[in-house]
Structure 1
Amino acid sequence: MGYDMYLVRSPEGEDAAYEAASRSFDAAVEHRDGLDLPYDHPQYQALQVEVAHAYDAMEAARTTHFHLTTWEMSECRALMDHFGMLAAAQPPDRPAPEEYGTTPGEAVAAPAGGAAPVAVHRYRKALEARLSWTPPQPEGIAAHKLGGDEGWTVTPGEIRTALTAYETSRAANPALLSEVIEDADWWPAWIGYLKHAAGHGGFRAYGPPVT
């Protein structure tokens, strides 16, 4: 369990590259297992190395996704707050289906896309607008967007202002960054993902439900 982030817009060609890498991984596993060798056999060990390489290549091909455990996200929010990357913002109230002429049951059961009734489509658009809402001049990533399971959209504008704040803050205390990386080795990859997401429409964040 943890938090999963997905780019709003996948890089061109990534889906095809991931599918190809996934097929290569499956083929490597099938070849290894098809020989029915004991785990300690030298040939099995050699094939296992190939499987591991194929898996790494498959994971490297998927740049749309970033995962943090629940504990890591807790650390992440604390670090981002320290670096001035988060902002307090109050999103609009959640729209009610009845305001758009539909019901909760119909909104859940209706098919995705254009096949949904007009009222459901309008309601879903209102939901999307709320999840991607940001102040006219964001001062960082809205803190509430890095919590809960609603799928908040962190926009490119929020990300860029957060990264600007980060660069300013870390320049003032470079020694702190070394300590951060030592304790949170995922941090450089997270910053890299933020930069990547800023050029691909931002990202959507999904975590455990708020209780």
Structure 2
Amino acid sequence: MGWELTFERPDGAGDPAYRFDSAGMRPVRRTMERLGMLSYDEPPPWPSPTEHGLTPADFAAALDGRTSERMRAFRSACRVVTDWAAERPTGIPAYKFGGTNDGWLVTPAEIRSALATLAAHPAWARTVVLRGQPSWTEWIDYLERATAHGGFRVE
């Protein structure tokens, strides 16, 4: 299993993607937790297909490229969940980072909050925690660039 992170608005961004396999995601996520860069907000509940009147036939039709109005409404309701962000984020929500590949939007405000938390640590503490993290500099560069491009999606 892996994760593909892509800028929400990739215009003029250089490489808009960042990739993790499960072995690469774990240490980065653990380091972000240790540094307080993740938050533990919960997303709104997922919409129910039955509440939207969907049947297995609707899902089968969507696989064939025939999307009903009910399916479009359901997908729209799902997008509200994946795009949700706290009014005042305190980091990147842990559920958006390294959990599922549901297309979570990590917003610029969430990224800025995480980066501010990182910057608040003394340099010696960052050095100790980041020892053995060879890709950390490029990861932070990706986060900084993502703030100017609408954040990124986790898929």
**Normalised TM-score (structure 1):** 0.65
Within 5 Å, give how 1:127-206 maps onto structure 2. 127-146=78-97, 147-169=99-121, 172=122, 174-206=123-155
Percent identity of equivalent pairs = 33
SS at match of 1:153: strand
SS at match of 2:79: helix
Match of 1:103, as an amino acid?
A: T
CA contact (8 A) 1:97 1:107 kept: no
Question: Which is greater in Rg?
Answer: 1
How far does residue 181 in structure 1 lie from its aligned partner after superposition?
A: 4.7
Would you tell me which structure has more helix in proportion to its own residues?
A: 1
Equivalent pairs counted in the alignment come to: 154
Return the alpha-carbon distance in structure 2 between the equivalents of residues 185 and 197 of structure 1: 20
Return the alpha-carbon distance in structure 2 between the equivalents of residues 108 and 204 of structure 1: 26
Q: 1:155 to 1:112 in 2, by over 3 A?
A: farther
Larger RCO (alpha carbons 8 Å, 6+ apart) = 2
1:69 paired residue number: 21
Q: 1:108 to 1:153 in 2, by over 3 A?
A: farther
Within 5 Å, give how 1:36-75 maps onto structure 2. 63-75=15-27
Return the alpha-carbon distance in structure 2 between the equivalents of residues 11 and 162 of structure 1: 23
**C-alpha RMSD of matched pairs (Å):** 2.3
Q: 1:83 to 1:182 in 2, by over 3 A?
A: closer
Return the alpha-carbon distance in structure 2 between the equivalents of residues 71 and 110 of structure 1: 33
Structure 2 gaps, min length 5: none
